[in-house]
């Protein structure tokens, strides 16, 4: 725990385990109610001075944090692989992506502009200034344990807000490493704080009810997001919510099915499917089913599961046993209702994998709307393939979900792609592109996938208030 520039210990401890081996790799304190109070007080006091700093100063500190992250890229990535399980190469990519937000918002800090607005009255002038929202409570998930922190903290700090971070229970060590970076970069005491806790609702509830916290930024599941949003609304707090997804991927008949299968296998099995933008419903035209399934299956079969620190490993473990159970129950339900397992469909229990939470890369064909996997978010390495006949049908099926985060299209016809882009109700759409994310581009969802956008120019707006000055001359 890091409160008011100090590292606090001496509380009951929570163990952190490596999901590939089951080994305990560290401990973090479980915060007391007094710690929560102290963190909010520290952030509130620090805000009084921090808000007066210049954008140039805040930019400089963010830039320093970026430099430190880049310098420690390998150590951070190794820690991430041990704590979260993804292959080292994927961790290196995530550290880079995480650092990108520091650099982007170091730049955007200096581009928070106001406005001068003409008045209808001769002796009146309007001036609009942007000011920081205030103390921000940030709750982050375990699947991207570093980039989800910088995606929130960089714009908040750039805007002049102070922050209390509560990272996920499974990945507090990555969060601790990030706090060390913010401390070393020179952020003053109280500007960045971190609470670790066993029961996250204790901190979440405090963020939503304490009048000193002005904004909640949350990335996690839709049910938890809805609960927190309800509580925050009752106390009139600003919120940003990055919640679940159930991304459709549509392979149109004019696309190359082998190329599409290659791309979709890369994005589907990335992070072992534990991503809110993972393609969860793959719609393939009936004429292209055979070559598509053949390529997807062969790619799934070639992925080597194992400890992400081992060279050549392409797929890591799931985060815990519960995650395995959920994936397995979705697969069993689909099979019971008629889906065919093209490959995978079981937990991997080979000798060196049995202590971890490994599930085989899985391809299901013949998936239909009656199956749980068609409706529920799948946070695992399962690619469900659904057959379709017409463009209108597939667009309707793709939109038939409570979620609206990401979607993917494969097409070589510009008008088909443009029609689909416009018709799909999702916040992020990859068109022949499996990685439509960047610190410079707005990330966020529609419908039950959330509120607000992170990254891009819009990302800093989430942490700014608009203040109007009306001047009578």
Catalytic residue IDs: 242, 276
What tokens does 427 get? Answer: 């916040």
Burial of residue 368 (CB within 10 Å: 0-12, 13-18, 19+) is: middle
Residue selected from 107, 169, 352, 425 as contacting ligand ADP according to rule CB under 6 A: 169
Residue selected from 32, 221, 298, 432 as contacting ligand ADP according to rule CB under 6 A: 221
DSSP 374-427: HHS---SSEEEEEEE--HHHHHHHHH-SSEESEEEEE-S-HHHHHHHHHH---S
Residue 178: closest CA among 157, 147, 142:
147
**Residue 366 in 3-state DSSP?**
coil
Sequence-ordered strand ranges (E) for 261-366: 279-285, 340-343, 362-365
Q: Which of residues 197 and 385 has its CB atom nearest to ligand ADP in the complex?
A: 197
Would strands 403-404 and 340-343 be described as parallel, antiparallel, or unpaired? unpaired
Q: Which of residues 308 and 380 has its CB atom nearest to ligand ADP in the complex?
A: 380
Residue selected from 39, 77, 133, 139 as contacting ligand ADP according to rule CB under 6 A: 139
How many residues of this chain interact with ligand ADP, rule: CB under 6 A? Answer: 13
* Residue 259: φ, ψ to 5°: -65, -40
The interface region with ligand ADP, picked from 157-165, 196-204, 249-257, 283-291 by CB under 6 A, is 196-204
Residue selected from 54, 201, 413, 435 as contacting ligand ADP according to rule CB under 6 A: 201
Q: Which of residues 240 and 411 has its CB atom nearest to ligand ADP in the complex?
A: 240
Tell the residue number behind the tokens 């392979």, with chain if given.
Answer: 251
What tokens does 409 get? Answer: 């299209």
The interface region with ligand ADP, picked from 65-73, 94-102, 135-143, 426-434 by CB under 6 A, is 135-143
Direct distance between the N- and C-terminal alpha carbons of the chain, in angstroms, rounded to an integer = 52
The Cβ of residue 51 has, within 10 Å, a number of other Cβ atoms equal to 15
Residue 134: closest CA among 40, 54, 58:
40
Residue selected from 141, 279, 316, 459 as contacting ligand ADP according to rule CB under 6 A: 141
For ligand ADP, which residue has the nearest CB? 204
Question: Contact between 198 and ligand ADP (CB under 6 A)?
Answer: no
To ligand ADP, the closest distance from the beta carbon of 227 in angstroms equals 6
The Cβ of residue 456 has, within 10 Å, a number of other Cβ atoms equal to 18
To ligand ADP, the closest distance from the beta carbon of 228 in angstroms equals 6
The interface region with ligand ADP, picked from 12-20, 116-124, 137-145, 441-449 by CB under 6 A, is 137-145
Question: Contact between 200 and ligand ADP (CB under 6 A)?
Answer: yes
Bridge partner residues of 409 (DSSP): 250, 431
Would strands 247-251 and 192-194 be described as parallel, antiparallel, or unpaired? unpaired
The interface region with ligand ADP, picked from 19-27, 221-229, 284-292, 335-343 by CB under 6 A, is 221-229
Q: Which of residues 18 and 171 has its CB atom nearest to ligand ADP in the complex?
A: 171
Residue selected from 17, 81, 91, 140 as contacting ligand ADP according to rule CB under 6 A: 140
To ligand ADP, the closest distance from the beta carbon of 169 in angstroms equals 5
Question: Contact between 190 and ligand ADP (CB under 6 A)?
Answer: no
Sequence-ordered strand ranges (E) for 220-330: 238-242, 247-251, 279-285
Instruction: Tell me the C-alpha to C-alpha distance, in Å, between residue 450 and each of 82, 106, 301.
Output: 30, 26, 35
The interface region with ligand ADP, picked from 5-13, 95-103, 223-231, 360-368 by CB under 6 A, is 223-231
* Residue 240: φ, ψ to 5°: -125, 135
To ligand ADP, the closest distance from the beta carbon of 425 in angstroms equals 23
* Residue 335: φ, ψ to 5°: -65, -40
Helix axis angle, 55-71 to 88-108, nearest 10°: 170
Question: Contact between 381 and ligand ADP (CB under 6 A)?
Answer: no
Residue selected from 1, 90, 136, 168 as contacting ligand ADP according to rule CB under 6 A: 168
Q: Which of residues 324 and 464 has its CB atom nearest to ligand ADP in the complex?
A: 324
The interface region with ligand ADP, picked from 218-226, 414-422, 431-439, 456-464 by CB under 6 A, is 218-226
Instruction: Look at the chain and count its residues.
Output: 473
Q: Which of residues 209 and 301 has its CB atom nearest to ligand ADP in the complex?
A: 209
Binding to ligand ADP by CB under 6 A, coded x per residue (else -) over 226-265, reads: -xx-------------------------------------
Contact residues for ligand ADP (CB under 6 A)?
139-141, 168-169, 200-201, 204, 220-221, 224, 227-228
């Amino acid at each position: 725990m890091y409160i008011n520039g100090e590292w606090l210990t001496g509380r009951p401890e929570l163990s952190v385990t490596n999901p590939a081996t089951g080994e305990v790799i560290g401990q973090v304190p479980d915060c007391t109610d007094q710690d929560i109070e102290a963190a909010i007080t520290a952030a509130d006091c620090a805000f009084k001075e921090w808000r007066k700093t210049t954008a140039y100063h805040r930019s400089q500190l963010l830039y320093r944090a970026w430099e430190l992250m880049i310098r420690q890229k390998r150590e951070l990535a190794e820690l991430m692989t041990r704590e979260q399980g993804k292959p080292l190469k994927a961790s290196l990519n995530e550290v880079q992506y995480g650092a990108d937000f520091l650099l982007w918002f170091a730049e955007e800090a200096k581009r928070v502009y106001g406005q001068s607005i003409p008045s209808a009255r001769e002796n009146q002038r309007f001036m609009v200034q942007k000011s920081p929202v205030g103390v921000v409570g940030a709750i982050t998930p375990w699947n991207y344990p570093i980039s989800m922190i910088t995606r929130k903290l960089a714009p908040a700090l750039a805007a002049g807000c102070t922050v209390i971070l509560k990272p996920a229970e499974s990945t507090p060590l990555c969060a601790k490493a990030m706090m060390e970076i913010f401390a070393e970069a020179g952020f003053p005491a109280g500007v960045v704080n971190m609470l670790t806790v066993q029961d996250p609702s204790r901190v979440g509830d405090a963020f939503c009810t304490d009048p000193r916290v002005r904004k909640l930024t949350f990335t996690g599941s839709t049910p938890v997001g809805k609960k927190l949003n309800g509580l925050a609304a009752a106390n009139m707090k600003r919120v940003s919510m990055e919640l679940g997804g159930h991304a459709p991927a549509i392979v149109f008949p004019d696309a190359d099915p082998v190329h599409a299968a290659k791309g979709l296998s890369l994005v589907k099995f990335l992070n072992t499917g534990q991503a809110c933008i993972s393609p969860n419903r793959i719609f393939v035209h009936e004429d292209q089913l055979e070559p598509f399934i053949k390529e997807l299956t062969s790619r799934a079969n070639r992925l080597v599961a194992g400890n992400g620190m081992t060279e050549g490993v392409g797929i890591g473990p799931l985060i815990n046993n519960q995650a395995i159970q959920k994936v397995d129950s979705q697969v069993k339900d689909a099979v019971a209702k008629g889906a065919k397992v093209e490959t995978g469909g079981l937990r991997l229990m080979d000798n060196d994998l049995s202590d971890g939470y490994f599930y085989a890369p899985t391809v299901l064909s013949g998936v239909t709307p009656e199956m749980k996997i068609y409706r529920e978010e799948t946070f695992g390495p399962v690619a469900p393939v659904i057959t379709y006949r017409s463009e209108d049908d597939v667009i309707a099926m793709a939109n038939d979900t409570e979620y609206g985060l990401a979607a993917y299209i494969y097409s070589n016809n510009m008008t088909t792609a443009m029609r689909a882009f416009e018709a799909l109700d999702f916040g992020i759409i990859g068109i022949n592109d499996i990685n439509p994310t960047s610190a410079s581009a707005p990330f966020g969802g529609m419908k039950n996938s959330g509120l607000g956008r992170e990254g891009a120019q819009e990302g800093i707006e989430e942490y700014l208030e608009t203040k109007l000055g009306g001047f009578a001359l």
